[in-house]
Amino acid sequence: MLSKMRTLRTLLRPDETTPSIFAIDYSRLYQTGKRAILFDLDNTLGGRRPRRLDPKVERLLGEISGMGFKIGILTNRRIGTKDPVIFSLARKYPVVIRAGKPRRRGFREILDQLGVSPSEAVMVGDRRLTDVAGANRLGIYSIRIART
């Protein structure tokens, strides 16, 4: 029982915590062999249910891909590609909606689309139970956005 609780705690613990996607040291991640960044949508790339992406966020994504990273979006939202945010993201990057995080399926789907292994990937998201736990159980490096 005790060791099970310890395992659960480990599963919910991110490898890194950061106040925003702008505070992440992407070049260090690249130096450590990471080649893909998977982003959650709500409260990560935007606020709660963003209607459109902030131009600063679009610029950051462009910079990250310019560094040599592949970018993927992984969201549990059930909305389709007609949603303006999803539509604009999906024109440039693979997007998996209804990802069912923390289940493995959505993570595997986006890794497949990007052609990278779990050890080459980084998951960035705000929720321990979905983003962090899902990434950790597959061995994907996890970064949690925790606004203070």
List interacting residues with Mg ion (CB under 5 A).
Answer: 40, 42-43, 126
User: Judged by CB, which is closer to Mg ion: 15, or 42?
Assistant: 42
Q: Rounded to an integer, what distance in angstroms lies between the CA atom of residue 39 and that of residue 8? A: 23
Min. distance of Cβ 11 from Mg ion in angstroms? Answer: 17
Q: Which is nearer to Mg ion, 28 or 147 (CB)?
A: 147
The side-by-side arrangement of strands in the sheet containing 141-145 is 16-18, 141-145, 121-125, 36-39, 70-74, 95-96
For Mg ion, give the closer residue by CB, 6 or 98: 98
CB of 94 to Mg ion, least distance (A): 18
Residues 121, 133 contacting (CB under 8 angstroms): no
Do residues 144 and 17 lie in contact, with contact meaning Cβ atoms separated by under 8 Å?
Answer: yes
CA-CA distance, 130 to 125, in Å (whole number)? 9
For 51-81, b/e burial (b = at least 16 CB within 10 A) is eebeeebeebbeebeeeebbbbbbbbeeeee
Residue 30: CB minimum distance to Mg ion, A: 24
DSSP reduced 3-state for 18: strand
Residue nearer to Mg ion on the CB measure, 43 or 113: 43
Q: How far is the CB of 93 from Mg ion (least distance, A)?
A: 17
CB closer to Mg ion, 30 vs 43? 43
Q: CB 126 → Mg ion: shortest distance, Å?
A: 4
